[in-house]
Amino acid sequence: MDRRTPSFRIFRYAAFYCKAALLCLCLIAGLFISIQAQAAATLQLQASEPIYSLGDRVEYLEDRDGTLEISTILNEPEQTWQKHSADIPSFGFSNSAFWFRLTITADKTEERLLDISHPLLDEVSLYLLSKGHLIRQFHTGDLRLYKDRPLNHLGFVFPVTLEAQKPLTLYLRVKSAGSVQVPMKLWSETAFHDSDEVVMSAIGIYFGVIISLILYNLFLYLRVFEPAYIYYVLYVMMFGLFIAGLTGWGYKFLWPEAVGFQQYGLAIFICMGSVFVCRFVHYFLDLPKNAPRVGKLLVTAVLLLLGMLAALPFTSYHIVVQMALAMTIIISTTSLYVGVMLWRKGEVMARYFTIAWAAFLVAVILAILEKFAILPRTFLAEGVLPLGMALEVILLSMALGERINSEKQQRIQAQEHIIVVQEKHQLELEQKVEERTIELEKANAQLHLLATTDGLTGIFNRRHFLERGTHDIKVARRYKRPIAMIMLDIDHFKQVNDTYGHDAGDQAIRHLVGICNALKRETDLIGRLGGEEFGILLLETSAESACEIAERLRQEIENSPLDYEGAEIRYTISQGVCTVSGDAQKLAIEEILKIADKALYEAKESGRNRVVSVPGKK
């Protein structure tokens, strides 16, 4: 074809434009693929869903050197990120740093809380990015002071603000000398605080039991001065401190300024607890007499544990912890062996002793497997160690009690051979039994008091209030007498705590209870249902009288400010009243409380500082 002809020129231009179009299509396709490859995992929030578990939604990257910064991470190739499938990321003991990322979108603006519920992580950093720009970052962990945490909580909790239709990308960096486990949940604020209240109550009860055991057996030691008791008390004390450190209570309440101690506290508690339990077993089972070789083995274990403690500042934390755990298993297995041997010989106290160490050994093995990421981290796996250890110390306390009974029987048998000595020993024995019986009754009374009353206010706790209320409602139903339930809540209670401190909040709660006690009748029941929420059950009270009582109480609270350290604190209450008569008397107390709670909510929504009454309906 002649290059000078118009046809040739048209053909040449057409070929050029086709090549250019093809090149543009390739570039667009490559850009689209690149964007798709760089897109992080995305979570679309639903306002109706208060909790999201993020473990199986995030992508993670392992930084083996632990040196990568956020700027470097943002430029990492996409293939270096891996999708995580387990509910809770768990990597065992590792020197690596781990990065996690997730993009979150919401249809409307929301305030959420990101909860990393593993309080022993050394370094935790959160970076929030919007449209590729870093808008906020947090740095916390065990290597920092407790007061530096974003929110005052046992674990690591971060506030996350999501704007409507604006994707927010989370980058989380975690590094720890201990077991690297990263349980991640995204909560609504209400759901988080409701759940946290239950957890804190359970932990408080748990430590209440431990403290009761310590005090009870310390008293026994002061009475009998037997070494087994004091070593048991010291062991339970180390065990309690270990659980406090494990759950974050220790760092929050006991040593919040001691960052160094927080790093080594668990290792110290494990080693010292093992030392004390070795000495306890030595005296409790009388090893020099019953198993001298085992006694020598436990003495050697004590020396090794003390050597590990001395070497702790000069070696790696996780090496000492792993060695201490190995020693714990050896000591537990040895103690279990001796317990079985004495049980077979007919020693009654060895029965409790053996069961205690069997429970403890199972709990420790399961906990170790979970910490080394052999077993997944679950609620059951996390709870088996505290529960197993609690069962062990309770059974050991029972074994100590059985030992007392055994010694008592031996004394009685010896007294049968010598009449004069029998009378003398009989008097001493009766005196000791009487004293111990009195102490047991006091302990039981104290335990009953702890189990039925609220420690802050002295009124009924929720469980006992429901029990007593159920009984009184049945009586009212039988005789067809009207009753009423008042449910009240302090308005803006958080402002009191934030402005004057938690001690002022406690004083305000006591102040409220004092007024309620002064105004209620002797037949009325009052109980603390939780936090700043209270319930009052009014017997033989009509709807009109119940509203009058509630209004009188509201006015008294409003007109009686709290004098706290020279400051006058004024607060108000909102009340929901449920009146019950006729067929509604078939309602259970839980249903009545639910109706009163709805009325309380209506009072809150209507402006607070008021009384809303609704009739109970079956």
State residue 372's pLDDT score: 61
Span 579-599, mean pLDDT?
84
State if pTM tops 0.85.
Answer: no
Banded model confidence at residue 165, pLDDT cuts 50, 70, 90: confident
pLDDT tens digits for 459-479? Answer: 999 999 999 999 998 888 888
Chain-centroid distance, C-alpha 522: 37
State residue 377's pLDDT score: 59
Least confident of 79-83, 281-285, 346-350: 346-350
pLDDT over threshold 80, residue 349: no
State residue 381's pLDDT score: 52
| Residue keyed to tokens 């755990």 | 325
**How many other CB atoms are there within 10 angstroms of residue 154's CB atom?**
20
pLDDT over threshold 60, residue 418: yes
pLDDT tens digits for 286-312? Answer: 888 888 898 899 999 999 999 988 888
State residue 611's pLDDT score: 93
Residue 615's H or E segment, with its range, is: strand 611-615
Alpha-carbon span 318 to 473, nearest angstrom:
57
CATH class of residue range 42-187: mainly beta
Q: Give strand pairing partners of 97.
A: 63
Alpha-carbon span 533 to 539, nearest angstrom:
20
More confident residue, 507 or 407: 507
Quote the tokens at residue 149: 């945490």
In this structure, the dihedral spanned by the alpha carbons of residues 132, 135, 141 and 144, taken in order and rounded to 10 degrees, is 130
Alpha-carbon span 155 to 141, nearest angstrom:
9
Span 139-165, mean pLDDT?
90
What would you report as the CA-atom Rg of the chain, rounded to the nearest whole angstrom?
33
Quote the tokens at residue 529: 């249902």
pLDDT tens digits for 115-150? Answer: 998 888 999 999 999 988 999 999 999 888 888 899
Residue 139's H or E segment, with its range, is: strand 133-140
User: 3-state DSSP call for residue 581?
Assistant: coil
Quote the tokens at residue 410: 């031996």
State residue 3's pLDDT score: 45
Phi and psi torsions of 522, nearest 5°: -65, -30
State residue 24's pLDDT score: 42
User: 3-state DSSP call for residue 580?
Assistant: strand
Give residues with Cβ within 8 angstroms of 558, minimum separation 6: 570, 572, 609
Could you tell me how many residues make up the chain? 618
Burial of 321 (0-12, 13-18, 19+ CB in 10 A): buried
Span 257-279, mean pLDDT?
87
- Angle between helix 259-284 and helix 292-311 axes, rounded to 10 deg: 170
State residue 370's pLDDT score: 67
Cβ atoms of 492 and 571 closer than 8 Å? yes
Alpha-carbon span 354 to 333, nearest angstrom:
10
Catalytic annotation, residues? 532
State residue 46's pLDDT score: 87
pLDDT tens digits for 16-27? Answer: 444 444 444 444
pLDDT over threshold 70, residue 13: no
Span 336-357, mean pLDDT?
81
Q: Give strand pairing partners of 121.
A: none
Task: Name the DSSP letter for residue 96.
Answer: S
Give residues with Cβ within 8 angstroms of 17, minimum separation 6: none
pLDDT over threshold 60, residue 194: yes
State residue 432's pLDDT score: 82
pLDDT tens digits for 370-410? Answer: 666 566 655 555 666 677 777 777 877 777 777 666 666 66
Task: Name the DSSP letter for residue 254.
Answer: I
Alpha-carbon span 238 to 234, nearest angstrom:
6
Quote the tokens at residue 495: 């402002």
- Angle between helix 493-500 and helix 502-519 axes, rounded to 10 deg: 130
Quote the tokens at residue 4: 């000078």
Alpha-carbon span 22 to 26, nearest angstrom:
6
CATH number of this structure's domain 462-615: 3.30.70.270
Alpha-carbon span 540 to 549, nearest angstrom:
13
State residue 4's pLDDT score: 47
Alpha-carbon span 92 to 393, nearest angstrom:
28
Cβ atoms of 231 and 154 closer than 8 Å? no
Mean per-residue pLDDT of the chain = 83
Q: Give strand pairing partners of 113.
A: 159, 187
Alpha-carbon span 529 to 465, nearest angstrom:
8
pLDDT over threshold 90, residue 574: yes
Q: Give strand pairing partners of 105.
A: 44
Span 439-461, mean pLDDT?
81
